[in-house]
Amino acid sequence: MVGLSGGVDSSAAAALLVEQGHEVVGGYMKNWINEEGLPGDCPWERDLEDAHAVAKALGIEFRVVELIDQYRERIVDYLLEGYRDGVTPNPDVMCNREMKFGVFLDYALEQGFEAVGTGHYARRRMRKDGAADLLRGADPNKDQSYFLAMMTQYQVKNALFPAGEMLKPEVREVARRFNLSTAEKKDSQGICFIGNIKMSDFLRHHVPDSPGEIVDLDGKVMGRHDGLHLYTLGQRKGHGVASPRAGMAYVVVGKNAEANQLIVGWDEPSTSGLYAEKCTVGSLSWINEAVTGGRAEVQPRYRAKSEAVEVTEIEGGKLELTFTRAQRALTPGQICAFYEGGKLLGGGVFEKIG
């Protein structure tokens, strides 16, 4: 079963699997319908039509898999709970683990399918011992392995990523070769399957504003904020504090939840709270071998460069990471992916910074 999202990557993935001789069925995951009063564009109806058109063009069966309740429980509630707790969650990573390769994979296997295929830019390699490794995508500009960092061995073994073996222009060429209507469709943006909705608008719809002071590192009041959940560490724009100096900018460097204060400072390496060399990572998930100590390679955010760290296992099965060079705006709630060269080892959640 191929997860057809209505985009070109999943469309090409389905076409490639058909071409490789697999018996393929397309499945559209219906996860979200825009709520009344929520601003923004949730183009699920258009995406559903595009996915259906792709299946028809490929001559494969097409199903709509209703997962709205599970999505709200596993992704939306996780997202809102994180922001209420003052951290910045990563719904895209959790959507892959809990939805695409969680309930959707469970559905596919129960229906007798052997695997779930998606349009992710990542590569799976089977070992001689029967285990599966997950590698970065062949296109370094589109690699999405970071978003798969919380997957398990079981999930990876039951996943296929045919688009991950190709460069993006080659993927579009596959869609053109099969005369698929999505061949020139622009890549989607937004919160996982929720659509083109600003995170701030989505949060305001669900979490009441809680205004408070914006202060600098000396405690001087610089302005007012609408709620700590609307801001994230390292944020340069949108906080409303103008810079009095050309070429300099204030950024969010901390939150004082007890006083309901947002803390800002200059965007420079010497600013307290903005850069950190140490952090604690928990909620760990490994695809194969676990990292428990010594040297390792991590990616602290999507599109960030890999960074060398020294790893120490601490109480509670968590890991303390010491970076070779200080990192900007490491954020509690976000995902830290562990690599060995081009191989994804697993991931965890940033819990404590500094």
Domain of 260? 208-266
Partnered with residue 286 across adjacent β-strands are 346
Judgement on whether residues 47 and 143 belong to the same structural domain of the protein: yes
Residue 289 CA: distances (Å) to CA of 44, 152, 256, 318, 321:
38, 11, 38, 15, 18
Partnered with residue 94 across adjacent β-strands are none
Per-residue pLDDT reduced to its tens digit, 245-300? 777 899 999 999 999 999 999 999 999 999 999 999 999 999 999 999 999 999 99
Is residue 178's pLDDT more than 70? yes
Per-residue pLDDT reduced to its tens digit, 29-72? 998 765 555 555 557 788 999 999 999 999 999 999 999 999 99
Q: How confident is the model at residue 135 (pLDDT cuts 50, 70, 90)?
A: very high
Is residue 149's pLDDT more than 80? yes
Q: What is the pTM of this model?
A: 0.93
- Domain end marker among 168, 200, 232: 200
Judgement on whether residues 239 and 119 belong to the same structural domain of the protein: no
Q: What is the CATH number of the domain that holds 246?
A: 2.30.30.280
List Cβ neighbours of 210 (8 Å cut-off, separation of 6 or more). 226, 227, 228, 229, 260
- Is residue 49 within 8 Å of residue 42, measured between CB atoms? no
Per-residue pLDDT reduced to its tens digit, 329-348? 999 999 999 999 999 999 99
- Is residue 42 within 8 Å of residue 194, measured between CB atoms? yes
Stated as kind and residue range, the H or E segment containing 156 is helix 153-157
- Domain end marker among 246, 266, 286: 266
Judgement on whether residues 319 and 283 belong to the same structural domain of the protein: yes
Catalytic residues: 95, 192
Judgement on whether residues 170 and 287 belong to the same structural domain of the protein: no
Judgement on whether residues 17 and 98 belong to the same structural domain of the protein: yes
Residue 146 CA: distances (Å) to CA of 75, 135, 302:
18, 10, 6
CA-CA-CA-CA torsion sign (281, 282, 287, 288): positive
